[in-house]
Amino acid sequence: MNMLDPRNIKIAYIGGGSRGWAWKLMRDLARETDICGTVALYDIDRKAAQDNAAIGNYIAADHEGVSPWRYEAADTLEAALTGAHFIVISILPGTFEEMASDVHAPEAYGVYQSVGDTTGPGGYVRALRTIPMFETIACAVRDYAPEAWVINYTNPMAMCVGTLYRVFPGIKAFGCCHEVFGTQELLCRMTEEMLGVTDVTRGDIKVNVLGVNHFTWLDKASYKGVDLMPLYRQYAEKYVHSGSPTDDPEKRKTDVFSSGNQVKFDLFLRTGYIAAAGDRHLAEFCPADWYMKFPEMAEGWGFHLTPVSWRKNDLVKRLAQSRTYLEHRAPEGVMPLGETGEEGVKQIKAIMGMGDLVTNVNLPNVGQIPNLPLGTIVETNACFTSDSVRPVMAGPLPAEVLELSARPAQNQTDMVTAVLRRSHEEAFAVFSRDRLLGALSQEDKRALFDRMVAATKAYLPRDWDKTL
């Protein structure tokens, strides 16, 4: 990386028509006046990218004193990536139609999923269409921007990052996820309640992070030198049945993302370690009969299954918001700035040499977790500094956590292999080993897989298993 002019950097955004992450990035970039430049938005939905370019370009005009980033829609991946210093990937693989099949098709077999984008039958079938897209992206990075840093937000996180490294081993990529931040927030509230202190912030909670994305764990947590692990045990025992008082009880009933952290507490009591992701994600990695044998069981554990219909409705709202932004009439038509809680821009600055940072990201295992296979995509803390992201030695997964994590970690690695080889049978073998399907017969697993693959067929690569 040559000496970067911090006023003239280029960010390529793949999935640049996004109405979630892309808007967050715009807001975070606007607030960082030390750096400026161009964001090239690339999206297979070209109109969405153009709309977002327009929305992005309004920001500097609408807000005083912000960093005047320029937004432009790029026609091709090549155009977006050429000259880029950073590449952000945040795509929806397929549409919510395919996702509806991922999430709900297994219900016919008594298998429920709370998210369906990471692991479980939904996560693995989503991987079938996502991995080939990331092959394309990895090749493009190799050809047009081999020195650029790549930040992925897309799920299934581990398999996306894994694909990037398998296809282009020289890539400088990492995956970001804010689920650990949420657990740190829970620890803030717990610390306030248990120690009688106030105004605890995420930065005060020091943690060691280890695991695979969305099934990440903390084996050490402290606040000003106080070991939080024994406190968390008390807290977990206190609230495992009723849910933590961190969310408004009314909100917990209606907000599909809300939970009382009861799954987290139960996992602590089972293992002695803090599971560090939302309960909806955690539950999908466990045997079905722990938390989700039937939908009411999830409700009993204080969390919700996210129906894809909710996502479709939410998209309608986002599209409306997009139109409002494009009409650009204050106040609703002006994007408000403010904390997003994301760290992407801080990471970019750290990589530019503008302030070191230690935070949790997803990277290939080079030994930071010695008892997961090398090459597994793992989530741990990493040091960000100039042109460099290096994992911190997180240490081995405790045995009680390893016995839960070994299988999904292996499955994710194996699914990348299977799809890169275009092997329907190998992909099925991984699918059939998923723990949520533990109660199904081999025949039912086969029938379910075939049905789910059929539903996502339009997004499979052309050379998908020719023996089919």
Query: Least distance (Å) from its own copies to the CB of residue 49?
Result: 28
In the three-class reduction of DSSP (H, G, I as helix; E, B as strand; rest coil), residue 257 is classed as coil
Length of the chain: 468
Q: Which helix (H) or strand (E) holds 172?
A: strand 172-175
Alpha helices in 222-307 (DSSP H): 229-239, 249-254, 262-271, 279-285, 288-291, 295-300
Q: Which is nearer to its own copies, 218 or 298 (CB)?
A: 218
Query: Least distance (Å) from its own copies to the CB of residue 366?
Result: 6
- Which one of the spans 15-23, 86-94, 295-303, 370-378 is the region binding its own copies (CB under 8 A)? 370-378
- Which one of the spans 20-28, 243-251, 307-315, 372-380 is the region binding its own copies (CB under 8 A)? 372-380
End-to-end C-alpha distance for the chain, whole angstroms: 46
Residue type present at position 363: L
Pattern 375-414, its own copies, x by CB under 8 A: ------x-x-xxxx-xxxxxxx-xxx-xxx-xx-xxx---
Selected from 370, 425, 457, 458, the binder of its own copies by CB under 8 A is 370
Q: In sequence order, which residues have a C-beta less than 8 Å from that of residue 378 and are 6 or more positions away?
A: 210, 211, 212, 362, 363, 364, 365, 368, 369, 372, 394, 409
- Which one of the spans 16-24, 203-211, 288-296, 325-333 is the region binding its own copies (CB under 8 A)? 203-211
Query: Least distance (Å) from its own copies to the CB of residue 223?
Result: 7
The alpha carbon of residue 446 and the mean position of all alpha carbons in its chain are separated, in whole angstroms, by: 28
Q: Which is nearer to its own copies, 430 or 455 (CB)?
A: 430
Bridge partners, residue 23, by sequence? none
In the three-class reduction of DSSP (H, G, I as helix; E, B as strand; rest coil), residue 372 is classed as coil
Residue among 178, 214, 328, 424 flagged as catalytic: 178
The dihedral region occupied by 342, where left means phi > 0, alpha psi between -120 and 50, and beta the remainder, is beta
SS3 per residue for 20-40: CHHHHHHHHHHHCCCCCEEEE
Residue type present at position 293: K
Selected from 374, 439, 458, 468, the binder of its own copies by CB under 8 A is 374
Active site residue 178: yes
Q: Which is nearer to its own copies, 50 or 216 (CB)?
A: 216
Query: Least distance (Å) from its own copies to the CB of residue 154?
Result: 24
Pattern 205-224, its own copies, x by CB under 8 A: -x-x-----------x-xxx
Query: Least distance (Å) from its own copies to the CB of residue 420?
Result: 11
Residue 400 CA: distances (Å) to CA of 267, 403, 412: 10, 6, 20
Query: Least distance (Å) from its own copies to the CB of residue 438?
Result: 9
Nearest to 32 by CA among 67, 5, 56: 67
Query: Least distance (Å) from its own copies to the CB of residue 440?
Result: 14
Residue 44 is encoded by which pair of tokens? 């297979």
Residue type present at position 116: G
Q: Which is nearer to its own copies, 6 or 307 (CB)?
A: 6
Query: Least distance (Å) from its own copies to the CB of residue 224?
Result: 5
Q: Which is nearer to its own copies, 31 or 433 (CB)?
A: 433
**Sign of torsion over alpha carbons 22, 281, 343, 133:** negative
Query: Least distance (Å) from its own copies to the CB of residue 368?
Result: 6
Pattern 155-174, its own copies, x by CB under 8 A: --------------------
Q: In sequence order, which residues have a C-beta less than 8 Å from that of residue 329 and are 6 or more positions away?
A: none
Residue 373 is encoded by which pair of tokens? 């296979």
Bridge partners, residue 61, by sequence? none
Pattern 303-342, its own copies, x by CB under 8 A: ----------------------------------------
Per CB under 8 A, 367 contacts its own copies: yes
Q: Which is nearer to its own copies, 88 or 348 (CB)?
A: 348
Per CB under 8 A, 236 contacts its own copies: no
The alpha carbon of residue 245 and the mean position of all alpha carbons in its chain are separated, in whole angstroms, by: 26
Per CB under 8 A, 446 contacts its own copies: no
Residue type present at position 447: A
Give the orientation angle of helix 21-31 with respect to helix 46-62, to 10 degrees.
30
Q: Which is nearer to its own copies, 224 or 457 (CB)?
A: 224
- Size of residue set near its own copies by CB under 8 A: 52
Residues 339-358 that bind its own copies (CB under 8 A): 352-354, 356, 358
Selected from 368, 378, 428, 455, the binder of its own copies by CB under 8 A is 368
CB atoms within 10 A of CB 462: 7
Catalytic residue numbers read 178
Contact positions vs its own copies (CB under 8 A): 1-4, 204, 206, 208, 220, 222-227, 352-354, 356, 358, 366-368, 370-374, 381, 383, 385-388, 390-396, 398-400, 402-404, 406-407, 409-411, 433
